[in-house]
Amino acid sequence: MKRNLIMFFTVLSFFLNAQLIKTKRGIVSLDGIHVAKISNKSGQYTFMDLKETPIFTMEFVDKSVVDSVRDSYVKLNRVYNRDKILDMDYISPSAFSGDEKSAVYTCIKGLKIIDERGINIKNLDELFKNMPKRKLDTKTKEAYTTRTKIDKLNITVNNVGEILSNGVPVGYFTNLPVSFGADDTISDKSFIDIEIYDAKSKLVGRYSTTTKRITTAGGKVFTLYREMSGRASILKFPTYKALAERMAILDPNFIKIREKVEVGEVVKDGVEKDKK
């Protein structure tokens, strides 16, 4: 009985303290009181005070980090100081995210920069002084680590199927579909695997266009771009560049990152400089 009473008052307290958030015709209301105004242009939300003075903007970002891993967050920017932009997590009141409701809900419930008095400039200033860290899950953190390694390799694929790293040829594709060169994505299905060789013509891996799996010469298997629901469904087909990048991660011997740049002797006016 005592436990039931505690649960009842807990639920009752939740409902009594719950704030009613509403946005209608660009006016944000909190418990029936107008507190701010909002406008949307090309996916960027501008928050204004009730006198329509722009205070800050919020823009939703949904991007691919690597393979099928995506990261969604918001960019927060003060109108008077465009140089400083904060990347922050956001919260959504429903299953739908990246919309006006999510923008308003995040400002009120997540960031506390809009309250019953309007836009809270003090809290907004504090936010820009002490930027909160983003809460990334393990999968997204690992994807960013992989992305950093890939970016250092600076991989490109030219129009004859040659793979280059920082402009240097490091390998090539064979068994390319007829659409290669006209389309940078691998959309044609073929029973013959696309093969990947290193610069010494050693086979390093194969890619199946039917299963979307890379199999390295050493036996490692990785599935590229699993078809997903929602926004991520646009990642249905991988690019040749993504295929080469993932191959480089699966087989570290395929393309090696040089931590130290090696240069020749420094010569000036025909005279070699003293070594220190």
Give residue for tokens 């960019």: 75
Q: Please report, rounded to a whole number, the percentage of residues in the chain having pLDDT higher than 70.
A: 80
**Both 167 and 106 in a single domain?**
no
pLDDT-derived band of residue 16, with 50, 70 and 90 as boundaries? very low
Kindly report, residue by residue over 19-56, the tens digit of the pLDDT: 788 888 999 999 999 999 999 998 899 999 999 999 99
**Both 194 and 112 in a single domain?**
no
Q: Is residue 140, in this structure, part of any structural domain at all?
A: no
What is the extent of the structural domain holding 222? 154-250
Kindly report, residue by residue over 69-102, the tens digit of the pLDDT: 889 999 999 998 777 899 999 988 776 566 889 9
Enter the DSSP assignment of 175: S
Q: Is residue 4, in this structure, part of any structural domain at all?
A: no
More confident residue, 268 or 256: 256
Q: How many domains does the chain have?
A: 2
**Both 108 and 176 in a single domain?**
no
**Both 166 and 114 in a single domain?**
no
CA distance 190 to 206: 13
Q: Is the pLDDT of residue 199 over 60?
A: yes
**Both 124 and 194 in a single domain?**
no
**Both 243 and 159 in a single domain?**
yes
Question: Across the chain, where does the E strand assignment appear?
Answer: 21-24, 27-30, 33-41, 44-48, 54-66, 69-78, 85-88, 114-115, 118-119, 155-157, 162-165, 168-174, 194-198, 203-208, 213-216, 221-223, 267-268, 271-272
pTM over 0.85: no
pLDDT for residue 154:
94
pLDDT for residue 256:
77
Q: Is residue 205, in this structure, part of any structural domain at all?
A: yes
**Both 172 and 229 in a single domain?**
yes
**Both 117 and 178 in a single domain?**
no
Report the amino acid identity of residue 231.
R
